[in-house]
Amino acid sequence: MLDAATTALLRAILDEVCESLSPHDTGARTYVASKLLEAAIGGETTPDHLKQIGREALSERPTMWR
């Protein structure tokens, strides 16, 4: 389980990375959140690296139009 500080960090990074998304694009936001959570559970807590992971997830997210 992640501590409160890490959870807050992940939420802030998720909001920052997904700020350009439509509020209705919950699928993309969920995908990015899952990748960030996976990285944090694996021990990654560096904000810059987590942002990079989030941006990469956003660019590679599956969509129904690809």
Q: Domain locations in the chain? A: 4-60
Gap between the Cα atoms of 16 and 64, Å rounded? 24
Q: Evaluate if residue 3 carries a pLDDT over 90.
A: yes
Please give the pLDDT value at position 35. 97
Question: Tokens representing 43?
Answer: 């021990």
pLDDT at 43: 95
pLDDT digit string, tens, across residues 9-60: 999 999 999 999 998 889 999 999 999 999 999 999 999 999 999 999 999 8
Interatomic CA distance for residues 24 and 50, integer angstroms: 23
Structure tokens of 25?
């694009």
pLDDT of residue 66: 47
